[in-house]
A and B are shown apart, each in its own frame.
Chain A
């Protein structure tokens, strides 16, 4: 069953077609990597899927709801309830500790629960760094806090934008291992990346070029 479906989605800025009649389906529990060079439309697609932007035309069905027709207020609610976001720059609040950064997502979703936030940090291997400020954490640790924050509200879709773009190889592997574990647990992942190694570990790679889907293939190990 499709969790996410894009039907003839276009995003046009003046004469520029950032996305040009894209059709894409992502099933529940699937791990999809979206690849492409700069300007191919990856981030535009991520913003539309992440309810932070609307397409110029076409439909975007998330869990059966066409989010391209929703108001900004509804999009905020959908983003809060259904999507977990992971950013390349981590975007942690610098005056809140790791656990407080996770709890902030709970606060805007429902009710903050410190024990649950600590469990989420433990899940990404940061139980002992919970009371540290972002400035006291390494890049890889900050990204793991970001992942814990994205997971805390049990989103239906985990959306990651260049999640390993600012990490060294060791930390990149840690993050990819976490993604792999999440995938095994049934989490739906859409990872935007320009890194072929990151795309390869996903179940499926969709490659964009000039706003169009150039290729859409299952990766080795996931082919039936």
Chain B
């Protein structure tokens, strides 16, 4: 009979039950969307922040010592101290390889143009194709690391085109001073050799790079006779904001206990990624670009805090909505409950009936709400970040527990009122 009563309530009050389920679904969808976005916003914001360039620089140990000694950051590599070009692929083999979004090696030298004008020439990767030891392939270089460059003439140097092996890109200041235009050929005379390069593009970087010429790595190595050498590497990595553990580890990883070390090593802190890069690049010092890393950390922390607060507010709001609706729907049935009491139903029987109905409606609403919420999350993902929001499995139990708890907690006042209900009041209308 219990199930006939439940079935009767659902089949013959379909519209009413569906309305309650849809309201619960609305709350659940809000919770699902916000939780999915919240869990994914860190990665999404981190990806967005990568457009601001590298957050880790790798230099030879000797250069780093000099930098530290003279408290100069980003200084030139010490004379004769270089990193090995053949080790560059190893960066994509570290534990956090998937968090290495882009990187590019750099070597620079002074050269003179045909008119005798001195200019700094930087050798690097533009869109370098790499076949990694893991079997994966990667296209990386300054085209990804210098997204803010404005190509005022011509185009980006394309390493996949054989002709571009003898090409270069010229900074806006150099181009203006020397009257260089895209398509021109320029003669560069370095300390060890000379070369003729075709200008494929002129860029406006808004920084000191406007006074430089960017050329393929091999060309600059030829000018300075440093084949197989690079003076620095810029790495753009997805990182987790530093906490106390990360700060301690950054100072001295040996100060950590074994479990702390494991936690630190297996978390994408900028310090642990730097540490792992140092493990694979010989005689290298990898250090975070503090301004970028700190800003990223601060922005991500604030974004996540904002999302958590919005999610909590959304959950409280939907919780109150569900609670009110459940209370209203239960109270609407006071006549029916009064009758049940009058014909001998005890408190347990009434509570069981009401809660079973509410839980069933809650489950239906939660399932509908979960899928609707996932859809909402995708809309948010595509409209805000331009990409899909990853479906997090942990959201399912959270939403399920949330809906059941909110629905049951929301029903407590209504059930208490029903249990106190005087059948004479509802049956006689007084």
- Which A residues have a C-beta under 8 Å from some C-beta of B? 43, 47, 50, 52-53, 73, 76-77, 79-81, 85, 87, 89, 91, 93-97, 100, 103-109, 112, 133, 149, 161
Given known A100-B4, A104-B5, contact A91–B339 (CB-CB < 8 A): yes
CB of A103 within 8 A of CB of B9, answer no
How many angstroms from the CA of A104 to the CA of B4 in the assembled complex?
10
CB of A104 within 8 A of CB of B340, answer yes
- B423 sits at the interface (CB 8 A): yes
How many angstroms from the CA of A91 to the CA of B428 in the assembled complex?
10
How many angstroms from the CA of A162 to the CA of B1 in the assembled complex?
29
- B427 sits at the interface (CB 8 A): yes
Inter-chain contacts of A105 with B (CB < 8 A): 343-344
- Least Cβ–Cβ distance between A158 and chain B, in angstroms: 13
How many angstroms from the CA of A7 to the CA of B344 in the assembled complex?
25
CB of B427 within 8 A of CB of A91, answer yes
Inter-chain contacts of A53 with B (CB < 8 A): 424
CB of B342 within 8 A of CB of A107, answer no
Which of B9, B12, B349 is packed against the most chain A CB atoms within 10 Å? B12
- B13 sits at the interface (CB 8 A): yes
CB of B9 within 8 A of CB of A85, answer no
CB of A108 within 8 A of CB of B344, answer yes
Inter-chain contacts of B398 with A (CB < 8 A): none
CB of A52 within 8 A of CB of B343, answer no
CB of A109 within 8 A of CB of B344, answer yes
Q: Which residue of A lies closest to B341 (CB)?
A: A76
- Least Cβ–Cβ distance between B250 and chain A, in angstroms: 67
Tell me if B's interface is mostly helix, strand, loop or mixed. Answer: helix
Given known A107-B2, A161-B428, contact A96–B8 (CB-CB < 8 A): yes
Number of interface residues of B (CB under 8 A): 28
Closest 9 CB pairs of A and B: A80-B344, A107-B1, A95-B12, A112-B1, A108-B344, A95-B8, A91-B339, A108-B345, A52-B424
Inter-chain contacts of A94 with B (CB < 8 A): 12, 336
Inter-chain contacts of A109 with B (CB < 8 A): 344
CB of A95 within 8 A of CB of B9, answer yes
CB of A100 within 8 A of CB of B343, answer no
- Least Cβ–Cβ distance between B418 and chain A, in angstroms: 14
- Least Cβ–Cβ distance between A98 and chain B, in angstroms: 12
- B196 sits at the interface (CB 8 A): no
CB of A104 within 8 A of CB of B428, answer no
Q: Which residue of B lies closest to A73 (CB)?
A: B346
- Least Cβ–Cβ distance between A146 and chain B, in angstroms: 10
Inter-chain contacts of A93 with B (CB < 8 A): 5, 8, 336, 339
How many angstroms from the CA of A51 to the CA of B342 in the assembled complex?
9
Which residues B289-320 have CB closer than 8 A to chain A? none
- Least Cβ–Cβ distance between A87 and chain B, in angstroms: 6
Inter-chain contacts of A73 with B (CB < 8 A): 346
Pairs across A and B, CB under 8 Å, 23 listed: A43-B428, A43-B430, A47-B428, A50-B342, A52-B342, A76-B344, A77-B344, A79-B344, A89-B427, A89-B429, A91-B338, A93-B5, A95-B13, A96-B8, A103-B4, A104-B343, A105-B344, A106-B1, A107-B2, A108-B344, A112-B1, A133-B12, A149-B343
CB of A91 within 8 A of CB of B346, answer no
Known: A108-B344, A133-B12. 6 other contacts (CB 8 A): A52-B424, A76-B344, A76-B346, A95-B13, A103-B4, A107-B1
Which residues B172-225 have CB closer than 8 A to chain A? none
Inter-chain contacts of B344 with A (CB < 8 A): 76-77, 79-81, 105, 108-109
- Least Cβ–Cβ distance between A107 and chain B, in angstroms: 4
- B127 sits at the interface (CB 8 A): no
Question: Which of A77, A89, A97, A108 contacts B343 (CB under 8 A)?
Answer: A108
Inter-chain contacts of A100 with B (CB < 8 A): 1, 4-5, 8
- B324 sits at the interface (CB 8 A): no
- Least Cβ–Cβ distance between B9 and chain A, in angstroms: 5
Inter-chain contacts of B8 with A (CB < 8 A): 93, 95-97, 100
Inter-chain contacts of A79 with B (CB < 8 A): 342-344
